Amino acid sequence: MRLILVGGFLGAGKTTLLSEAAKQLASRGSTVGLITNDQVPDLVDTAVLARTGAAVREVAGSCFCCNFKGFHEAVCALAENGVDCIVAEPVGSCTDLSATIMQPLKDKFPEYALAPLSVLVDPIRVREVLRNRDSALHPDAAYILHLQLEEADQIVLTKCDSISDAERGEVVSFLRQEFPGILIHEISTHSGEGVKPWLDSVLAAAPAGLRVVEVDYDRYANGEAVLGWLNAVVTMRWIGGLSANWRGFTTDLFGALQAKLREEEREIGHIKALVECSTGVLTSNLTALDDGPQVYEEGALERLNATLTLNARVQIAPDEIDALFRDALKQASYGRVAATITAFHCIRPGRPVPTYRYDSIVA
Ligand SMILES: Nc1nc2c(ncn2[C@@H]2O[C@H](COP(=O)(O)OP(=O)(O)OP(=O)(O)O)[C@@H](O)[C@H]2O)c(=O)[nH]1
Ligand SMILES: [Mg+2]
């Protein structure tokens, strides 16, 4: 069993890369399994990845490190289904994976071919949070982002299609200086640039889990606690005409959420949504306060019945994101959509308490 962990901050591009990696691994002859992870159920990521055709398992309820047993059960369940290569995505606000997942795996399950820990980072976060330090992201959340990169075996700079060559050069040289000795990949999953070399490199028999960093768990816990977490599933019926406009509805929903968050200068980790009807699917992702959402459609989205799954990770208290979501839903639905919330979780992530924590490297 080959095991590849792909970490990185909220919205860095993990699920997008997992989706592409699943396709490329399958074309190389692997039977691929994917593992998603969140504090609460009803994940957009799980639904998105299921569309690749790979076997997907969700570990919900806590992060991999605080539920090592759940993580390992997911690995075993996939193995029983004939999977020989697993790519797993931990929660974006999770760090200390080397000490809490990589070292225990090497120690307890040496039979697994464990790939180097890849940590993805979005160039905008590097620029705003790490380089200029003028981001609205709370310093303790920024601390998590920094730790994630410090403990990486490989740093993967994502979304390289979205920046100029000059900016890319600056970001890479900053990363080299700040995190010396760590291999840096430059990729764009959208254009395909760099994905194959990254995959070749994680498939090579390279040592994994080479760094264990010191972590201040009070700061780490606070960095997670400043983020409000909302997962909702909404059953919807279009009542505004004979043909639905789910794209227009989603645009308005995101517009209403973003306008309010901008007003209050609350940083967005990631707001993502999946709208499914029997003939098509739409995804919408927003990863920064000052950006616009990225929207993708497959098939036709005109059927009158649809389901919305929305996951939001925003720097705001849970009761505030709860109220904000309900208001935005009401606003976007007004006069055209009958919406019923069928599943709802709104939390502040609790203090991370890892199942295992190794403070030295397992050979
Ligand atoms: N321009 C560009 N956007 C990308 C690329 N890869 C991912 N994205 C976009 O980044 C957004 C977030 O991507 P995800 O893959 O969902 O990020 P994630 O790290 O899984 O996010 P969380 O699971 O919430 O932590 C989406 O809108 C993606 O389309 C890329 O190569 N180029
Ligand atoms: Mg994801």
Walk along the chain (363 residues) in steps of 10 and give the mean pLDDT of each run: 98 98 97 96 96 96 96 98 98 98 98 98 91 84 97 98 96 96 98 98 94 98 97 98 96 98 95 97 95 95 96 96 98 98 96 98 96
Pairing of strands 280-286, 268-277: antiparallel
Cross-strand pairs, 55: 33
Ligand 1 centre distance from Cα of residue 216 (Å) = 28
C-alpha of residue 82 to centroid of ligand 1, in Å: 29
In terms of pTM, does the model score above 0.85?
yes
Counting from 1 in the atom list of ligand 1, the atom nearest the Cα of 286 is: 27
| Distance from Cα 241 to the centre of ligand 2, integer Å | 34
Q: Is the CB of 194 under 6 A from ligand 1?
A: no
| pLDDT recorded at residue 274 | 98
Distances (CA, A) of 261 to 124, 215, 244, 292: 19, 30, 28, 13
Q: In the chain, which ranges are E strands?
A: 2-8, 32-38, 55-60, 85-88, 113-114, 118-121, 154-157, 183-186, 228-238, 268-277, 280-286, 294-299, 305-314, 337-347
Helix (H) or strand (E) holding 115: none
10 Cβ below 6 A of ligand 1? yes
Half-sphere exposure (Cβ direction) of 275: Cα atoms closer than 13 Å = 29
Residue 132, Cβ neighbours under 10 Å: how many?
9
Residues pairing with 237 in the sheet: 305, 338
Residue pair 100/65 in contact (Cβ under 8 Å)? The answer is yes
C-beta of residue 159 within 8 angstroms of C-beta of residue 186 = no
Alpha-carbon distances, residue 178 vs 48, 54, 137, 138, 174 (angstroms): 34, 36, 19, 20, 6
Q: Is 12 in the pocket of ligand 1 (CB under 6 A)?
A: yes
Q: Do the Cβ atoms of 282 and 301 come closer than 8 Å?
A: yes
Q: Considering every ligand atom shown, identify the ligand nearest to the alpha carbon of residue 313 and give its number.
A: 1
pLDDT on residue 131: 81
* Alpha carbon distance, N-terminus to C-terminus of the chain: 19
pLDDT reported for residue 128: 84
The Å distance, Cα 223 to ligand 2 centre, comes to: 18
Nearest alpha carbon, ligand 1 atom 7: 13
Distance CA 129, CA 138 (A): 9
The total of other beta-carbon atoms located within 10 Å of residue 28's CB is 12
Q: What is the set of domains in the chain, with CATH numbers?
A: 2-223 (3.40.50.300), 228-347 (3.30.70)
Residue 135 has a pLDDT of 83
Q: 306 forms bridges with which residues in the sheet?
A: 236
Residue 34, pLDDT score: 98
Residue nearest to atom 14 of ligand 1 (CA): 13
CA of 127 to the centre of ligand 2 (A): 21
The pick from 6, 10, 15 for probing ligand 1's pocket by mutation, whose C-beta has the most ligand atoms within 8 angstroms, reads 15
Sign of CA dihedral 343, 267, 288, 57: negative
